[in-house]
Amino acid sequence: MGARMKHERWKNNFSEWFDEALWNAKIMETRYPVKGLYVWLPYGLKLRNRVLAIMRELLEETGHEEVLFPLLIPENLFKKEAEHIRGFEGQVYWVTHGGKDKLDVRLALRPTSETSIYPMFALWIRSHADLPLKIYQIVNIFRYETKMTKPLIRLREVTTFKEAHTAHATSEDAKAQVRAAVETYKKFFDELGVPYVITKRPSWDTFAGAEYSIAFDTLAPDGRALQVGTIHNLGQNFAKVYGLEYEKEGGAHEYVYQTCYGISERVIAAAVMVHGDDLGPCFPPRVAPVQIVIVPIPFKGEEKSAEKVAKRIAGELKAAGFRVHLDERDLRPGRKFYEWERHGVPLRLEIGPKDVKQEQVTVVRRDTGERFTISLKVVNREVRKILKQINKEMRARAWKSFLNSIRDLKDLGEIKKVMDARAGIVRAPWCGKEACGKAFEEKTRGSVLGEELNDKRMKGVCPVCLKPAKTSVLIAKTY
């Protein structure tokens, strides 16, 4: 099967491919009878927890502590920060009754938790010694999304919302925290092998209540960008309305400076899509719920010997810390191969008559289809090496195809053509003015992701106003 054949449905019929992939890999049940709500299946939940373990580790090692706040937010608290309400009020679910009683104060199902967390920050923060304060939680949130809902991508109940919230003594400290969060997210996406661009969101698309927002975007196989994480500098906007003051060393009082940053199960959607092919997803060994599946191939006369070897190898690999599944079901091997390929298991070990005789195991890589044998004596060592190699190569391949889908263009007509064809991300020179940014969107029918950080600054003029470019902007069709 050629590379092009292998990517036909994945690329050309992505939306269908995605839904099927989630079902065939037993990640999600999408038939729950409420729009935008879905069920995590056991295999999907294992994947989710692997991904979260990486995130937790990264946050803990950078001094964040995990907390858990209530789901409900009283209306009066929710409505304190004017910009924040403007941004979210169309998306909030309200609890209005308890049993038969109408509630005196309506309760919002959190669409994000600034307005529940910061009133508590106000109680906890007294002096400079309490700062910086860095916490995070992983919770469900509710957003009444009006755009088309899609499993893992646009939910009305986001089940896996990781939000970090920090408070600092100075504006400089908050800015440094934003930069640190960018580094943390880079590491996180690198672990998943998910490529990204990092942009400063345009002024008209900043998080409600923030001074500025930074976003990570990746690309779906259908050429549309997917925002997979955001980092916001909140300045003192929330501190002022929630009374987050601290006493400085000299005794004077000042409001704290805050940041927050979040990801959701969209990052899992990203991992599913960027590493997929026509067979379904392929998970990087780093997060694969099952890293190695072992399939004994029974043969006449000696039904037991392949099984015996398979059991032994499975035991050894498990003891060495790998996530192994020995598939002993009474099914044809071909059927098993088919299933585990669709579960995105990165490595398959087959043990057939020849393997038993020659004291070897046949290895098949899910990502490349490569097939080779390794000696039973060195299985652990070799498998460790191969899995590491797969992580590296999957990331490199994803980055290569991602970078190939970003092109530098200076002509609005040409940019529009790329947008119409949903052919990826365009980098264009920009004078930096909001009016021109909005004109980019109108004239190309794409969305401005933002001004690229670590800018490969494009020379030339802004194609809208023809004034010299100050920066470059990234434009794409988006999810």
Contact footprint for ligand A5A (CB under 6 A): 112, 114, 143, 145, 154-155, 158, 163, 207, 227-230, 232, 260-264, 266
Q: Please say which residue, 14 or 207, places its beta carbon nearer to ligand A5A.
A: 207
475 binds, among ligand A5A, Zn ion, none (CB under 5 to 8 A by kind): none
Smallest gap from Cβ 150 to ligand A5A, in A, equals 8
Q: Please say which residue, 37 or 412, places its beta carbon nearer to Zn ion.
A: 412
Q: Please say which residue, 167 or 431, places its beta carbon nearer to Zn ion.
A: 431
Smallest gap from Cβ 408 to Zn ion, in A, equals 17
Compute how many residues bind Zn ion; rule: CB under 5 A.
Answer: 5
Residue among 250, 293, 225 at smallest CA distance from 479 = 225
- Scan for tokens 């997979």, then name that residue: 228
Q: Please say which residue, 158 or 198, places its beta carbon nearer to ligand A5A.
A: 158
349 binds, among ligand A5A, Zn ion, none (CB under 5 to 8 A by kind): none
Q: Please say which residue, 109 or 376, places its beta carbon nearer to ligand A5A.
A: 109
> Are 294 and 376 a contacting pair, CB within 8 Å?
no
Reduced to 3 states, what is the DSSP secondary structure of residue 47?
helix
Q: Which tokens sit at 141?
A: 């949130």
Q: Please report how the helices 42-60 and 171-192 are oriented relative to each other, as an axis angle in degrees rounded to 10.
A: 140
160 binds, among Zn ion, ligand A5A, none (CB under 5 to 8 A by kind): none
Q: State the Cα–Cα distance between residues 274 and 253, nearest whole angstrom.
A: 49
Cα angle 14, 391, 326 (rounded to 5 degrees) comes to: 90
Reduced to 3 states, what is the DSSP secondary structure of residue 54?
helix
Smallest gap from Cβ 465 to Zn ion, in A, equals 3
DSSP 24: H
- Amino acid identity of residue 44, one-letter, is G
Smallest gap from Cβ 200 to Zn ion, in A, equals 17
405 binds, among Zn ion, ligand A5A, none (CB under 5 to 8 A by kind): none
47 lies in the site for Zn ion, by CB under 5 A: no
125 binds, among Zn ion, ligand A5A, none (CB under 5 to 8 A by kind): none
Q: Please say which residue, 55 or 345, places its beta carbon nearer to ligand A5A.
A: 55
Q: Which of 290, 297, 418, 464 binds Zn ion (CB under 5 A)?
A: 464
CA 403 to chain centre: 18
Restricting to residues 424-443, name those near Zn ion by CB under 5 A.
431, 436
Q: Please say which residue, 88 or 322, places its beta carbon nearer to ligand A5A.
A: 88
Residue at shortest CB range from ligand A5A: 262
Question: Cβ atoms within 10 A of the Cβ of 314, count?
Answer: 22
If phi > 0 it is left, if psi is from -120 to 50 it is alpha, else beta; for residue 79 that is alpha
Up-side HSE of residue 143: CA atoms within 13 Å toward CB? 19
Burial (Cβ within 10 Å: 0-12, 13-18, ≥19) of residue 91: middle
